[in-house]
Amino acid sequence: MQRPVNQTLRTISKCRQGHGIPQYIIENGLRKVKPYFFQHQVHAKERWLKRTLLDVFATEFQFRDKMYYHNAIQCGHITVNGSQVEPTYVVQHNDLIIHHIHRHEPAVTAKPIEIIDQQDDFVVIDKPGGIPAHPGGRYRYNSVTQLLQRQLNVSRLFPANRLDLPTSGLMFIGLNVDGARRLWADTVEGRVQKEYLCRVVGKFPDRVVCTAPIKRISFRLSLHYVQDDGKPSETEFERISYDGTTSLVRCRPVTGRTHQIRVHLRYLGYPIANDPLYGLDKPWSHLLQEGQPLDEEYAANVVQTIAAHSHYPDFDPSHINACRDCGLVMTSDPPPNLLSIWLHAWRYASKDQSWAYETPNIPTWAYH
């Protein structure tokens, strides 16, 4: 039988001191972290200002339900500037918000992180799809940088480029700040040519250059799309092969916007075949029209539709499959193959031809 919420929160209060070394479990092709107690600290973000504390948590962090956050605030497990407040507290500029939580990280792929090269101040890796590049959101120990820190026995790493969670391929990670800054500067200043491989729906044209501007539509949903007032974006595409249903495409992003390749492909009408956000088989797919930028009103409708189909289980005190320490309803682990998409960062090279890296292996989906 599940504990009542208040009893659960009292349990958490006894464990605020920390959680020690993470315990990993490898099972059914997935890497899991044993749940642990964690103190999450964050300064108020601009989009949170003038909203109630309860509204911020209930809308920004939907992996817990509203009742949980209401009780957590009232019991002092969510505090502001070191003080207990009411759920109706209005968030102010520079507020320090602390949440003492029993953390359940989502499972990630158990595929190994292959080190391609290691220099004095950086390493080059082949990141598997299905794991985040760095801690963020619900992920901390189940991330590339945290796993590599243990593998390399270093206290900190500095990603110089970042791949989306479902994307595989080349990542450059600094062993110190200077190494990361140099690599990052080369990338953002256009001194590096990047090549990706992807598999898309339909017969892609021989060659396309897409320059549609991209704008973030929703931070919480990590949704980006083409809008007229978006940031300048450019991607070069070239079809490599067509199998009668899907095309293998080479992508060369000239700019580096979030989700740029995925968004441009969707905008062109050839989304990555297994993309869970921009694909053609979603309840919101009809709202993302080929060649049509979103205006603000239409973008809001897209966000509402996606949010309505995002599943976060509500708290149920009678639910037998729930965490005994915090009341979180446990959900089934995803199949490992659903954690990644058919997008792979294959080759990075300096434009002055002083260096080049390729992943030693190409994903199996690129051979079919």
Choosing from 95, 126, 164, 275, the catalytic residue is: 164
CB 117 within 8 A of CB 125: no
- Residue 106 three-state SS: coil
Helices (H), the chain: 5-13, 53-60, 66-74, 144-152, 177-188, 260-268, 296-308
Q: Cβ atoms within 10 A of the Cβ of 79, count?
A: 17
Residue 316 appears among annotated catalytic residues: no
CA distances from 98 to 33, 43, 85, 94 (A): 22, 9, 12, 13
Q: Facing residues of 25 across strands?
A: 32
Angle at 338 between CA 159 and CA 199, to 5 degrees: 80
On the CB side of 68, CA atoms within 13 Å amount to 26
Supply 214's token pair: 């991209």
CA distances from 184 to 73, 130, 154, 168, 319 (A): 40, 23, 20, 19, 47
Supply 59's token pair: 């809308």
Q: Cβ atoms within 10 A of the Cβ of 155, count?
A: 6
CB-based contacts of 86: which residues, under 8 Å, 6+ apart?
53, 73, 74
Report the DSSP pairing between strands 108-109 and 30-33.
antiparallel
Q: 295-333: buried (b, 16+ CB within 10 Å) or exposed (e) per residue?
A: eeebbeebbebbbeeeeeeebeeeeeebeebbbbbeeee
- The catalytic residue positions are 164
